[in-house]
Structure 1
Amino acid sequence: MSELDTPMTCPSTAARAGHREPRKSSPSTISPATSSGPLISLSWTDHVTGHQGHLVVDRLVRGVASGGLRMREGCTLDEVAGLARGMTMKEALHYDVDDPAVRYIPLGGAKGGIDCDPQDPEAYGVLVRYMRAMRPYIENMWTTGEDLGLTQDLVDRAAAEAGLISSVQAVYPLLDDEAAARQRLADAFAVEIDGIGLDELVGGCGVAESLLAALDRTGTPRAGTRVSVQGLGTMGGATARFLSRAGLKVVAVADIKGTIANPDGLDVEALLAARDAFGTVDRAALRPADTELPGDAWLAADAEVLVPAAVSYAVDTTNEASVRARWIVEAANMPVLPEAEELLAARGITVLPDVVVNSGTNAWWWWTLFGDIGADADEAFAYTRRAMRALIDQMLARAEADGTTPRAAAHAIVADRLPVIAERFGWYS
């Protein structure tokens, strides 16, 4: 059986057969504008290893949807569906409905996921076979890229092996000058700053600027503000760098081996330099005053800010009581479960939601590809900072006016914009 012959099961079929997984609540609460459900939802089983993969296309705009591909053990269809809804929201939030000069027009939202440990020796083969199976969707409607467990280099290599031109080739027909746009994006991916690629840094820049905008809005000084970060991979590492350079004190970081802490502040640059490809820090790089704590210690750190930047569902009703921070900044997708967020809000803890906070990476791809910015780090960071600060200010102002949480305010903004996008570009075309 070829990879394209590997069975794909619609969730409704699986449910009738009694095989549907129990639903897990998603923090990306469905807004009225997206409550009709996804356009496409399917699961795939690898005929070689038995690993499962999923694809959900929540919405199409101009026939295309955008969303990364994650790989982690335990990834479920419901998780991917929540992430796809989140991508619809992120695209809508970055659409400036009143500025005709902006070249980037939003796409729809989608997401892919593979239930496999990315460090499994079989993982790359599973990735290639998944992309072969999903090739018709990637060629025609789904633009994808790196996400949890996968780097863009790995996605690109697997895409080539699967016979694809690019993991974002579905968007090429929408470009005015495809050759120039592809070269511009390739040039941008080649940019490095202090040993880290621009593609890794823009997401962290967006997360950091989101927090800085919130702190500035409340008059909270940057100096002395302590931060604890879960995950020192692509997003967490870049966020830690930008926050440290902005004058905040990173006092704890967690990776798969545990939490590294120092109340006087960690040497973020040294830790970044000591990471492996999966974001795990070589403990030989620790200073004498740095301490090693259990993996979940980051959550209860004596810090004003928590940045969950690794897995989904990191904060739930079993552990939210240990949070002592004032702010939780969702660098990861769906890290705070809704029931936990209600309890946190009751204690005066503000969650800055993923659909806004970590949307900078996706937006940077399209700003660059469509030509709103060039392959230049300073231009990319400046554009990202302006966009994220404007979004945070708009969201928090809406939350104050409506008497709601920032997440509810973000969803309200999306609910306002999606009908405008549908009217201008169609619901499915």
Structure 2
Amino acid sequence: MLGAVEAKSTRTAAPPFLEVIWTDPISGRRGFLVIDRLVRGVCSGGLRMRKGCTLEEVRGLAAGMTLKESLYYRPENNYVPLGGAKGGIDCDPHDPEMREVLKRYLQAVSALLQAHWATGEDLGLQQKLIDDVVSELGLQSSIQAVYPLLPDRDGAIERMDRAFRVDVEGVALSELVGGLGVAESVLTALDELGQPHAGSRVFIQGFGSMGGGTARYLAKAGLIVVGISDSIGVIANPEGLDVETLLATRNTFGEVDRSSLRPGDQELPRGSWLAVDADVLVPAAVSYCITPDNQHEITAPLIVEAANMPVLPEAERILADRGIRVVPDFVSNSATNAWWWWMLFGDIDASVEQSELKIRSEMRRIVSDMFARAGREGTTLREAALAFTTDQLQAIDARFGLE
């Protein structure tokens, strides 16, 4: 039910182009693929795995991907946005059978992977596992559907291979770019609100690729990371956490080794994350976690969505009445998707410098425009961002057509 409600808040004008419901013949588990739109015959969107994943959830995420793709359309760029899509498997990623379930799902949708759907890691899955399974199935890549659109396929693949080998202070560049985009969204929003970076307090729910990267870049910008949460619980310190130590001791599920905590770091229950006193709240873990029933616990005047669909629409309306701003997910967490395509299409090279410069400048442009439009039109930030994507989609449709 929550997925259905949330899907309506990001729904593009027409119903999805294609919906696939798959039932695993061995385990009975279900998987889904929703293609919201095609542009030049191709769509883009990650593949997630979580227990309880639903078609409604995947449908909403696919619509969100159409919006994310449209954000970065600029006629002068090599990269032309694709349509939006999303895949999802109803399976616990800790399940010992998850790899075989994933393999059977990808085999079932392999024809779409070959020609129409470019995908990558999302919640519960890592890119290396997807790459390994795709290779076992005899496919070229999880993004091979894009290859016919590339002006220099061999150069693009070589550039991406180099980018995925880049390490930034112990963390892969590919695991940081999404968090950098979220962090730049936070910094731009603070600038728009007239609040200094140095000393502003931030709490980050989730410490995987998105949450961990966000924490690193915000700490480097002078913000005080007063708390993070993972699947175990909350770690908080009003004086600030040692982000780099936490990054160095987390596992592949984004769980922090508690033996690395310092005196003054507090372990709190999982459910206490909303109430930690902060100036900025970054939900970077799961969907539908901020509801009408728990939004009253939030004290932060600014929420920047790093997860997909973390704030329910009714909760967001109540938050707006309380004067709390929400930077929407399809803006703030869009950098990973854009980085892949800028890299492949040749708008940037494989260097850290070009990646960071492009993400920072584009995110700052989009978030600043969103604030300006919301101010002019008297709307919420989400409404302003949706109006912007409507303009962008019309321009894409006029040039390439939307299917």
* TM-score of the pair, normalised by structure 2: 0.98
**1:22, CA displacement in angstroms?**
8.0
Secondary structure of 1:26's match?
Answer: helix
User: Which of 55, 68, 82 is the aligned partner of 2:33?
Assistant: 55
* C-alpha deviation, 1:154, in angstroms: 1.1
Residue 222 of structure 1, CA deviation: 1.0
* Equivalent residue runs for 1:52-201 within 5 Å: 52-96=30-74, 99-100=75-76, 102-201=77-176
Structure 1 Cα separation of the partners of residues 92 and 16 of structure 2: 26
Q: Assess, with a 3 A threshold, how the Cα gap between structure 1 residues 307 and 28 changes in structure 2: closer, same or farther.
A: farther
Aligned match for 1:316, one of 277, 291, 294: 291
What are the residue-to-residue correspondences of 1:240-279 with 2, within 5 Å? 240-279=215-254
Aligned counterpart, 1:41: 19
Following the alignment from structure 2 to structure 1, what is the Cα–Cα distance between the partners of residues 10 and 89? Answer: 23
Partners in 2 of 1:119 and 1:250 — Cα distance? 29
Query: Match of 2:345, as an amino acid?
Result: F
Matches of 1:293 and 1:149 in 2, distance apart? 24
Q: In structure 1, which of residues 400, 406, 421 is the aligned counterpart of residue 396 of structure 2?
A: 421
Q: Residues 286 and 23 (structure 1 numbering): CA distance in 2 closer, same or farther, change over 3 Å?
A: closer
Counterpart for residue 11 of structure 1: none
Question: What's the % identity of the aligned pairs?
Answer: 57
Match of 1:347 in 2: 322
Task: Describe the SS at the equivalent of 1:25.
Answer: helix
Render the CA deviation track for 1:334-388: whole Å, top value 9, x for unaligned.
0000000000000000000001000000000000000000000111001100000
1: CA distance between counterparts of 2:373 and 2:116? 33
- The equivalent of 2:308 in structure 1 is 333
Alpha-carbon shift at residue 95 of structure 1 (Å): 0.5
Give the alignment partner of residue 301 of structure 1, picking from 253, 276, 292.
Answer: 276
How far is the alpha carbon of 1:427 from its aligned partner? 2.2
- Local SS of the residue matching 2:124: coil
Contact 2:3–2:60 at 8 Å: present in 1 too? no
1:382 aligns with 2:357: yes
Deviation at 1:162, TM superposition (A): 2.3
Q: Does 1:284 align with 2:259?
A: yes
Deviations 1:387-411 (A, max 9, x none): 0000001111111111111111111
Contact 1:28 1:334 survives alignment (8 Å): no
| Structure 1: segments with no counterpart, 5+ residues | 1-20
SS at match of 1:24: helix
Distance 1:54 1:269, change over 3 A: same
Which of 2, 9, 17 is equivalent to 1:29?
9
How far does the alpha carbon of each residue in 1:207-256 deviate from its partner, in whole angstroms, 9 at most, with x for none? 00011011112220111110111100010000000001100000110001
Could you tell me whether the CA contact under 8 Å between 2:24 and 2:104 is conserved in 1?
yes
Matched, 1:226 2:201: yes
Give the counterpart letter for 2:24 in structure 1.
Answer: D
- Paired with 1:336 and 1:154, the residues of 2 have a C-alpha distance of 29
SS in 2 for 1:114: strand
> How far apart in 2 are the matches of 1:50 and 1:318?
34
1:30, CA displacement in angstroms? 4.0
Work out the CA distance in 2 between the residues paired with 1:169 and 1:70. 19
Q: Distance in 2 between matches of 1:414 and 1:193?
A: 32
Distance 1:203 1:61, change over 3 A: same
Matched letter for residue 258 of structure 1: G
- 1:26 is displaced (CA, Å) by 0.8
What is the CA–CA distance in structure 2 between the aligned matches of 1:22 and 1:284, rounded to whole Å?
37
- The answer to whether the Cα contact below 8 Å between 1:28 and 1:86 also exists between their aligned partners in 2 is no
In the alignment, which residue of structure 2 is the partner of 1:236? 211
Cα deviation, residue 42, structure 1: 1.5
Q: Which residue of 2 aligns with 1:363?
A: 338
Matched AA of 2:4: K
Residue 145 of structure 1 and its aligned partner are, at CA, apart by: 0.1
Structure 1 Cα separation of the partners of residues 30 and 241 of structure 2: 39
Q: Give the partner amino acid of 2:223.
A: L
Secondary structure of 2:383's counterpart equals helix
- Distance in 2, matches of 1:284 and 1:199, equals 27
Runs of 4+ in structure 1 deviating by more than 6 angstroms, as ranges, are: none
Contact 1:132 1:163 in 2 (8 A): no
2:157 maps to 1:202: no
The SS at the match of 2:281 is strand
TM-score (norm 1): 0.92
Q: Is the 8 A contact 1:329 1:353 kept in 2?
A: yes
- How many pairs does the alignment contain? 403
Structure 2: how far apart are the matches of 1:28 and 1:395? 21
- Letter of the 1:39 partner, please give it: F
**Secondary structure of the residue that 1:80 maps to in structure 2?**
helix
**Paired residue secondary structure (2:99):** helix
CA RMSD after TM alignment: 1.1
Runs of 5+ unmatched residues, structure 2: none
- Aligned counterparts, 1:7-26, within 5 A: 24-26=4-6
User: Could you list the per-position Cα deviations for residues 22-75 of structure 1 after superposition, in whole angstroms to 9, with x for gaps in the alignment?
Assistant: 8631166145xx222100012111111111110000000000000000111111
